Amino acid sequence: MRRVRKAIIPVAGMGTRFLPATKVLAKEMLPIIDKPTIQYIVEEAVNSGIEEILFITSPYKKNIEDHFDRSFELEKRLEKSNKLEQLEMVKDISNLASFYYLRQGEPLGTGHAVKLAKNFVGDEPFAILYGDDVVVSEVPCLKQLMQVYEKYDCNVLCAEELEDYLIPQKGIIEYEDIKSGKVKGLVEKPKLEEAPSKHGTLGRYILKPEIFAEIEKISMKNGEYLLTDALLTLMKKQDFYACKLNGKYYDVGNQIGYIKANVEFALSREDLASAMREYLSKLEI
């Protein structure tokens, strides 16, 4: 079985839910406290064993490339002013992994974005991490998926147990066998009473390279080629298992998820927790 070494992070979406902030700033660069969202995701990938990362990017996301590059002027200034801790922090970012970039000329959907990575991936299994799904967990989320991949030599989805009100808004997993996690299909936004399970998927995948042949066959829906459509046809040919997330997921692509992440991350940080707690306790809600 081949090890998962490569990851794709599609970041070429429009981020319309965060306008006007995302008019010129990449949504993925919005910080949770003081670290850009995308850096949490890259760190998760690296801590899971990923060595090479391809960003599918767009002309409006240049600051992501800059963030993971060296910054000689800043480094020199930090060195001169003896801010050695910050100097190391800045240098470490560019050493996290080997980074590659490809532009998606038009945001034609997640399927279209992933298709661009075909040559980068070659004939290896690979990971996909979405740029606006942040997970906090003891074992990195992608590593949890890798453990399932290593057990079954299969494609892997990430499953999260949803509250009832979210089920009609999400892609829901239909299981062949919920105990082992073997997946039969996905149902888009079902009514609560018709949902095949309470498990939604989130933006983490391990896929076999055969997904690219399936992406070629999907058709456009509402102006987008959706990765989900290619997953559904690959499910008819290859095994998919769902990895039940052991951790906490934040959908930072919408305002409430983003705010929750900021508050909870502050509460978990030694340098901020007590001030944050004091502030929250005084809020009149």
Q: Interface residues with ligand UTP (CB under 6 A)? A: 10-17, 27, 56, 104, 107-110, 112-113, 130-132, 253
Residue 194: what are its φ and ψ, rounded to 5°? Answer: -105, 0
Query: At closest approach, how far in Å is the CB of 92 from ligand UTP?
Result: 23
What's the Cα-to-Cα distance from 138 to each of 45, 47, 107, 159, 257, rounded to whole Å? 14, 11, 34, 17, 20
Structure tokens at 262: 């900021």
Q: 105 or 122: whose CB is closer to ligand UTP?
A: 105
Query: At closest approach, how far in Å is the CB of 95 from ligand UTP?
Result: 24
- Map residue 211 onto helix, strand or coil: helix
Q: 54 or 266: whose CB is closer to ligand UTP?
A: 54
Query: At closest approach, how far in Å is the CB of 257 from ligand UTP?
Result: 11
Residue 244: what are its φ and ψ, rounded to 5°? Answer: -75, 120
Query: At closest approach, how far in Å is the CB of 254 from ligand UTP?
Result: 8
Q: 28 or 214: whose CB is closer to ligand UTP?
A: 28
**Residue whose C-beta lies closest to ligand UTP:** 13
CA dihedral (85, 9, 200, 192) positive or negative: positive
Q: 27 or 170: whose CB is closer to ligand UTP?
A: 27
Q: 36 or 109: whose CB is closer to ligand UTP?
A: 109
Q: 110 or 144: whose CB is closer to ligand UTP?
A: 110
What's the Cα-to-Cα distance from 225 to each of 108, 113, 216, 282, rounded to whole Å? 6, 9, 10, 48
Query: At closest approach, how far in Å is the CB of 139 from ligand UTP?
Result: 23
Query: At closest approach, how far in Å is the CB of 107 from ligand UTP?
Result: 3
CA dihedral (225, 16, 141, 104) positive or negative: positive
Distance (Å, whole) CA 139 – CA 280: 29
Q: 78 or 159: whose CB is closer to ligand UTP?
A: 159
Query: At closest approach, how far in Å is the CB of 225 from ligand UTP?
Result: 8
Q: Are 9 and 41 in contact (CB under 8 A)?
A: yes
Distance (Å, whole) CA 211 – CA 192: 30
Q: Are 108 and 12 in contact (CB under 8 A)?
A: no
